[in-house]
Amino acid sequence: MGISNSNYAPTNSVFLNPSSIGDSKVYWEINLVGASAFIDNNYVYSPGFSFISAIRNPAGVAEPLDDFKPGNKSAYVDIAVHGPSFYLNLGKHAVGLSTQLRTVVDGRNIDDNLAKFMFEGFKYLPQRGIEYNTSNTKINTMTWGELGINYAYTFKQQSNNMYIGGISVKRLYGINHLGVNIKNATFTVPDTSDIVFAEIDGKYGFSAPAFNAGRGWGLDFGFTYKKMLEEIDAYVPYSKKSGCKKPDYLYKIGVSLIDFGYISFGSASYAGNVDESGTWEDFSNSNFEDNFNQYDAKILNSFSSSSDVSSSYKAFLPTSLSIQYDYNFENGFYLNTTVVQNLSFFNQLGVNRQNSFALTPRFETPRFEVAMPLTFRKYIYPSLGLAFRFWNNLVIGTDRLGPILFKGNKYGADIYFNLKVAKLYTNKCRVKPSKRKFKRYKTNDCHFTPNKKWKKKKR
């Protein structure tokens, strides 16, 4: 959230709203490399964590939450590696290309006893022979690559009102998926080898890891309205016809639908529904790495009723709705509010997105930016972040500053960075430096950037 609403980071903001690249304050931008990692859960934590201790011991130590805090558990991981990407302004049009590799782990409504089994293993003796129930439990993980084409168009300018639409079309390359959706299950672990289900109603899908395990399509749609500070009927970005000026807005409102799509997994993929009852025998000797397709056979043999069994299936992206509001105080300071609401359905195989609400004050200039997002994960858990942009070449930030600065029990972390090259203006709008004695200005009418070069006075 620290950089996704910047006016000077189009290759970042396009992932939140594809229309954001329309009328950007950057003429062109190339992302060389970047990465982001977000981890959050309410069960496993790192005791006494600090940034220094993490450097000394990268493996870390994880412990489960104390038993005096009962309740359903959840976990969410979103890791992305941002590959070469670019953006280019073409007047009222803007185009771009984005590449990234993503991994999302999504676990929700996990009964606390099941969470204990998952952490300790099903051989955990204190819970042996006790009947447990879990419902509306979803555990999915998916890894995929994206190649996206981005486009935005300023389709209307009237008085001081601007309307921009945008779309991103993404080709998806599935690498792996493993998912279990349990509507209701009652189970017992009687010994070290079996799990007995008195009843179960759920679906499963899994695919052997491969670079071309599945393919699919994804779409992002976006719309932005800007209330400009001046009339812009004849305005064309980065054009001499507009006097090479870059008018600013008083406020803007954005609405976007992101990650709408799915990946079809085939070839060493298995999916189906299970219900009624069954016993998973000799589960302790099951091994995904040695013989992946044995799981499909085990499921068919273990449960009294299986249906819709298939060697191919669809896993859905973390489809979400986002609304953004950005206010300009006209002195370099902005205040942004962004809401992200998950739209994925429970009965879909695939990953969901974590809901969030963020309030982000920021200060931005053409060559420097700092933001401090206050994000409420799941709308209720607050975390404070800090992000910087230096000279349109380096972006670094975190939405969870606490785990970095303060020692304590940590249940998650977040960090991201990007290395870029960018240009703020067109050559046709560039003006010659001033010949003033004490200051030298390298600028243009689109963006004004003072470059001081002081000289010693002659005696």
- Quick: pLDDT tens for 360-385: 999 999 999 999 999 999 999 999 99
Output the pLDDT for position 208: 86
Residue 443's pLDDT band, with cuts at 50, 70 and 90, is very low
CA pair distance 387, 300, nearest whole angstrom? 50
* Least confident stretch, 128-142, 322-336, 406-420, 430-444: 430-444
- Residue 379 sits in a domain whose CATH number is 2.40.160
In a domain, 5, yes or no: no
Contacts of residue 367, defined as CB under 8 A and 6 or more positions apart, other chains included, come to: 390, 391, 392, 449
Tens of pLDDT, residues 57-86: 655 566 676 654 677 899 999 999 999 999
Output the pLDDT for position 243: 67
Check pLDDT > 80 for residue 281.
no
In a domain, 444, yes or no: no
Nearest alpha carbon to residue 166 among 87, 230, 238: 87
Output the pLDDT for position 403: 77
Burial of 313 (0-12, 13-18, 19+ CB in 10 A): buried
Check pLDDT > 80 for residue 308.
no
In a domain, 459, yes or no: no
User: What's the whole-number mean pLDDT along residues 207-214?
Assistant: 89
In a domain, 325, yes or no: yes
User: What's the whole-number mean pLDDT along residues 125-153?
Assistant: 92
392 — phi, psi (to 5°)?
55, 20
pLDDT-above-90 percentage for the chain: 56
The per-residue DSSP string of 371-431 comes to E--EEEETTTEEEE-EEEEETTTEEEEES--HHHHS-EEESEEEEEEEEEEEESS-GGGB-
Check pLDDT > 80 for residue 48.
no
Contacts of residue 200, defined as CB under 8 A and 6 or more positions apart, other chains included, come to: 182, 184, 185, 186, 187, 274, 275, 276, 277, 278, 303
Mean pLDDT (the chain) is 85
Output the pLDDT for position 449: 41
Rg (CA), the chain: 26
Domain that holds residue 107: 10-424
Q: How many helices (H) and strands (E) does the chain have?
A: 5, 26
Check pLDDT > 80 for residue 56.
no
Output the pLDDT for position 410: 80
Helix (H, G, I), strand (E, B) or coil at 302: helix
In a domain, 453, yes or no: no
In a domain, 261, yes or no: yes
Residue 125's pLDDT band, with cuts at 50, 70 and 90, is confident
Output the pLDDT for position 34: 97
pLDDT-above-70 percentage for the chain: 82
User: What's the whole-number mean pLDDT along residues 16-30?
Assistant: 95
CA pair distance 327, 325, nearest whole angstrom? 7
CA distances from 154 to 4, 98, 149, 238, 356 (A): 20, 21, 17, 14, 29
CA pair distance 29, 87, nearest whole angstrom? 5
Count: domains in the chain: 1
CA pair distance 199, 215, nearest whole angstrom? 34
User: What's the whole-number mean pLDDT along residues 334-345?
Assistant: 95
In a domain, 388, yes or no: yes
User: What's the whole-number mean pLDDT along residues 240-264?
Assistant: 90
Check pLDDT > 70 for residue 452.
no
Output the pLDDT for position 454: 31
Output the pLDDT for position 54: 60
Residue 187's pLDDT band, with cuts at 50, 70 and 90, is confident
In a domain, 439, yes or no: no
Q: Report the predicted TM-score, pTM, of the whole model to 2 decimal places.
A: 0.86
User: What's the whole-number mean pLDDT along residues 102-113?
Assistant: 92
How would you classify residue 454: left for phi > 0, otherwise alpha for psi between -120 and 50, otherwise beta?
A: beta
Check pLDDT > 70 for residue 131.
yes
Joined tokens for residue 18: 């594809």
